[in-house]
């Protein structure tokens, strides 16, 4: 049976049905938060609010803007390195993110903001929805070039649901601190995506190998995504921290970690090349690992030198991963990781969880102050049940919960996506925009091969 990638009815119907369902659910459940509601003026008039600038919008919206740009521009352009897959990299990222933020507002709302039968949405909900979609964008990186837009919509539906449950377990039940999402966003997203791509293993993907490489201009476009992510990552890690010192500290820690990561990534990239040259893949990706790894401990008293150490280590580990681990995963474990998310998000995410657990376990009154310690870890000053070692243990448990949710969820979703009904491309037609996009005539000089899996080309 030939592969059918014609999505003329399947994709439009799926998009329209999903959006119609979202409209109904928003109509039933979603309302404005008090800070966005017209009644806020009455609160201001009663004297409880001194000015319009006290509205939550003015505290959170600058961070929301930065995070929003990271999701739609940063992640989108980071994946444009494939020479013939630029439309799909940016366009499919746009599609899954637009759907994902709506579904995330509902899922996270039901678990975190549901009161009196309604979900009350404010600007902080928008940031958290972007965080959730960030995890989906991470997973997309492992599947890039090998799935249809319909598969991505289905994956987003399930992953947002699993992300929200995992986030609820960590933040609400275990009381884990994870400001920048090293565990909830990066670890979960990376190992979920790796598990899905493992289930969707393509034995004849070598037939598309010539399109899995970059050209000069595609690498340059991808570097635009890197720079947007690198510049805005301090906002990402501090966006939902408590106003004041915690948010300030998270930005500083992330800033320092990212800076150190660049130098060690460049150093390792040059050292590992026999002629001392730099590899653009390392510069595009490994330079961001410091932002991932400092996420959990971002708002803790990690100290600037501690942040530099985290970035120093992650620049090395991530670059080594791209050189040695990615080929090993593909050849030995059948994990075809297109973007190398294991090296940028997976390993640094786990490192970030460990750094957060150790930093929390070392927290003390001398470093934080009595009130500062209680404020940083959200407990009452006179709460005898809280201890730093217990907080550290819960932080460590969060790593394993995220991994378990990612692996189990990835297997189940991978099995669903493996069904031959989603319009996925054949192995010989992966990494090619012409399968799902109308492209300019001068880009059609390389004709796609017939999508017939019965063709059995000889092994290379």
**Mean pLDDT, residues 1-28 taken together:** 91
Alpha helices (H) in 169-279, listed in sequence order: 188-199, 216-238, 245-271
Task: Supply φ then ψ for residue 455, to 5 degrees.
Answer: -70, 125
pLDDT score of 201 more than 90: yes
pLDDT at 411: 98
Question: How far apart, in whole angstroms, are the C-alpha atoms of residue 192 and residue 349?
Answer: 13
83-117: b (≥16 Cβ within 10 Å) or e = bbbbbbbbebbebbbebbbbbbbbbbbebbbeeee
Question: How far apart, in whole angstroms, are the C-alpha atoms of residue 327 and residue 96?
Answer: 28
pLDDT per residue as tens digits for the range 373-387: 998 998 877 677 889
Task: Find the Cα–Cα–Cα–Cα dihedral 15, 18, 22, 25, rounded to 10°.
Answer: 160
Across the beta sheet with 30-32, the strand order is 30-32, 118-121, 114-115
pLDDT score of 448 more than 70: no
Q: Which secondary structure element, helix H or strand E, spans residue 321, and what is its range?
A: none
Which of 341, 230, 333 has its CA nearest to residue 281? 341
pLDDT at 382: 67
Q: How confident is the model at residue 457 (pLDDT cuts 50, 70, 90)?
A: very low
pLDDT score of 69 more than 60: yes
Question: How far apart, in whole angstroms, are the C-alpha atoms of residue 458 and residue 453?
Answer: 13
CB atoms within 10 A of CB 202: 18
Q: Which residues pair with residue 97 across a beta bridge?
A: none
Question: How far apart, in whole angstroms, are the C-alpha atoms of residue 67 and residue 211?
Answer: 31
Question: Long-range contacts made by residues 246-251, C-beta under 8 angstroms, separation at least 24?
Answer: 246/179, 246/299, 246/375, 246/376, 247/299, 249/298, 249/299, 249/300, 249/301, 250/179, 250/180, 250/298, 250/299
> What is the average pLDDT value for the chain, to the nearest integer?
92
**Mean pLDDT, residues 397-410 taken together:** 98
Question: How far apart, in whole angstroms, are the C-alpha atoms of residue 158 and residue 142?
Answer: 16
pLDDT per residue as tens digits for the range 286-321: 999 999 999 999 999 999 999 999 999 999 999 999
DSSP 37: S
More confident residue, 456 or 169: 169
Q: What percent of the chain has pLDDT over 70?
A: 94
pLDDT at 458: 44
Question: Long-range contacts made by residues 408-413, C-beta under 8 angstroms, separation at least 24?
Answer: 409/158, 409/159, 409/162, 409/192, 409/195, 410/191, 410/192, 410/193, 410/194, 410/195, 410/196, 410/198, 410/199, 411/195, 411/199, 412/158, 413/154, 413/155, 413/158, 413/159, 413/192, 413/196
Q: How confident is the model at residue 143 (pLDDT cuts 50, 70, 90)?
A: very high
pLDDT score of 184 more than 50: yes
Which of 171, 27, 32 has its CA nearest to residue 111? 171
State the greatest distance between any 2 C-alpha atoms of the chain, in Å, as a whole number. 79
Task: Supply φ then ψ for residue 381, to 5 degrees.
Answer: -55, -40
Q: Give the three-class secondary structure for 19.
A: helix
What is the pTM assigned to this prediction? 0.93
pLDDT at 1: 37
Lookup result for tokens 């150190």? 260
pLDDT per residue as tens digits for the range 210-248: 898 899 999 999 999 999 999 999 999 999 998 889 999
**Mean pLDDT, residues 164-172 taken together:** 97
Token digits for 156?
């987003």
Q: How confident is the model at residue 446 (pLDDT cuts 50, 70, 90)?
A: low
């Amino acid at each position: 049976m030939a592969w059918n990638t014609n999505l003329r009815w399947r994709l439009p119907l799926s998009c329209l049905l999903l959006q119609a369902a979202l409209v109904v659910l928003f109509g039933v459940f979603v309302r404005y938060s008090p800070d966005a509601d017209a009644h806020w003026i009455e609160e201001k008039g009663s004297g409880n609010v001194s000015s319009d600038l006290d509205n939550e919008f003015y505290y959170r919206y600058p961070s929301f803007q930065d995070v929003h740009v990271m999701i739609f521009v940063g992640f989108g352009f980071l994946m444009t390195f494939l020479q013939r897959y630029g439309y799909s990299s940016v366009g499919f990222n746009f599609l899954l993110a637009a759907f994902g933020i709506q579904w995330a507002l509902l899922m996270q709302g039901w678990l975190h903001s549901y009161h009196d039968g309604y979900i009350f949405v404010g600007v902080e909900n928008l940031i958290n929805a972007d965080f959730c979609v960030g995890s989906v964008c991470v997973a997309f990186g492992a599947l890039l070039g090998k799935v249809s837009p319909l598969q991505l919509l289905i994956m987003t539906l399930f992953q947002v649901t699993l992300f929200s449950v995992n986030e609820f377990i960590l933040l609400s039940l275990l009381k884990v601190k994870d400001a920048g999402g090293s565990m909830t966003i990066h670890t979960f997203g990376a190992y979920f995506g790796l598990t899905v791509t493992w289930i969707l293993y393509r034995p004849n993907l070598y037939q598309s190998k010539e399109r899995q490489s970059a050209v000069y201009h595609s690498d340059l476009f991808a570097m635009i995504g890197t720079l947007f992510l690198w510049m805005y990552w301090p906002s990402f890690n501090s966006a939902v921290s408590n106003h004041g010192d915690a948010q300030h500290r998270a930005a500083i820690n992330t800033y320092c970690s990212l800076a150190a990561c660049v130098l060690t990534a460049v150093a390792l990239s040059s050292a590992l090349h026999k002629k001392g040259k730099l590899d653009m893949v390392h510069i595009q990706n490994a330079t961001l690992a410091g932002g991932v790894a400092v996420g959990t401990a971002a708002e803790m008293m990690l100290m600037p030198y501690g942040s530099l150490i985290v970035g120093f280590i992650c620049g090395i580990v991530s670059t080594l991963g791209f050189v040695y681990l990615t080929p090993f995963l593909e050849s030995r474990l059948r994990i075809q990781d297109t973007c190398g998310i294991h090296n940028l998000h997976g390993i640094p995410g786990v490192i970030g969880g460990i750094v957060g657990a150790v930093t929390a376990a070392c927290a003390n009154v001398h470093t934080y102050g009595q009130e500062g310690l209680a404020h940083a870890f959200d407990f009452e000053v006179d709460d005898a049940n809280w201890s730093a070692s217990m907080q550290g243990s819960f932080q460590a448990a969060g790593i394993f919960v995220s991994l378990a949710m990612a692996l189990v969820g990835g297997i189940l979703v991978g099995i669903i996506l493996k069904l031959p009904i989603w319009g996925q491309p054949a192995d010989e037609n992966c990494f090619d925009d012409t399968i799902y996009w109308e492209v300019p005539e001068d880009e059609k000089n390389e004709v796609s091969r017939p999508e017939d899996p019965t063709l059995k080309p000889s092994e290379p």
